[in-house]
Amino acid sequence: MFPPNQCSRAVAIHPTNGHVAVATNDGELSVRVSKNDLDSFVYETKKISKEWMEVMVYSPDGKYLAVGTHSRNICFLDVE
């Protein structure tokens, strides 16, 4: 019903500060302030993959975000 950049396939919530990482179907990633404030960005939308992201997870200490893409790549992002 919505265009790919408005649909999400993967979401992850930071273990300590509650930031919400959202990956769109067209390979873009953004981080929102919290589940109660999804309209405010901590990290603006950036294209990090040619295809959609299949899965995302924060490390237990919250320092890294691992992103698995449909193009069979795993990106490790330094959150700090």
The whole-model pTM stands at 0.86
At 2-53, the pLDDT tens digits run 877 677 889 999 999 999 999 988 888 999 999 999 999 999 878 888 888 8
Q: Hey, what long-range contacts does 16-20 have (CB within 8 A, 24 or more apart)?
A: 16/62, 17/62
Tokens of 57: 């997870």
The torsion angle over the Cα atoms of residues 37, 38, 40 and 46, rounded to 10 degrees, is 160
At 12-22, the pLDDT tens digits run 999 999 999 99
